[in-house]
Amino acid sequence: MSPSKSIEFIGDSYTVGYGNTSSKRSCTAEELDATTDTGKSFAVLTADAIWAKVQVNAYSGRGIVRNYNGFAGDTLPDLYPYALFDGKTEYHDPTWQPQVIVIALGTNDFSTPLHAGEKWKTEAELIADYEATYVNFVKSLRTKNPDASVLLISYDPATTPQITTVRDRLRAAGETRVDVLEITGFTKNACDHHPDTDDDRKISQTLIAYFDAHPELWPDLRQGK
């Protein structure tokens, strides 16, 4: 019997499981490749624990409007529509209709200071662009997934106000199935100060507790389907 639940995770290196099996923070490129295990990331751990079908759509270093340290390249909302995030072949699978979409994006947008030459002159401009683009991204996901609930994750109290504003703007526009969950307290002992597998388990446990407290996220199960 196949799982009755379905969940999609959209994010950056944390969701990828960047170097998460490493026992040290300083890693060579080869060590990073060898120690990155999405199968041990919080996304897959959570899906396995709640017995759900899962998709993980994540790309290290990418943000909503700004990539890590301002490096040039498509942001996650720009890459999301494409298979392999290649900007060429659009992804299309009418059979994939997640009941819950978990989005964890914002660390790369705000974790490094703005540099001369970037399009935002002030952090206030960056925040405004981030919030507006995030709102539109969620709306685009809603168009494709009319029955899904959306959970916005914050890993940092400094970004929680921006993510909360996104939720509030969506709710003001009539979106009723969107929420925010702040998850903090990581040791970040893996490559480049990323979450290790202990952190992944902590994130997963927080998500599982949230899902347990919100059975309405799985309406088909409540209706006996």
Q: How far is CA 93 from CA 81, 82, 90, in A?
A: 11, 12, 10
Q: How far apart are the first and last CA of the chain?
A: 13
**How far is it, in rounded angstroms, from Cα 145 to Cα 98?**
7
Q: How far is CA 170 from the centre of its chain?
A: 17
Question: Out of 6, 13, 22, 154, which one is annotated catalytic?
Answer: 13
Going along the chain, which residue ranges are E strands? Answer: 5-11, 52-58, 100-104, 149-154, 178-182
Instruction: Examine the residue annotation and report whether 22 is marked as an active-site residue of this protein.
Output: no
- Tell me the three state secondary structure of residue 51: coil
**How far is it, in rounded angstroms, from Cα 18 to Cα 70?**
19
Q: How far is CA 107 from CA 48, 49, 223, in A?
A: 25, 26, 37
Residues recognised as catalytic: 13
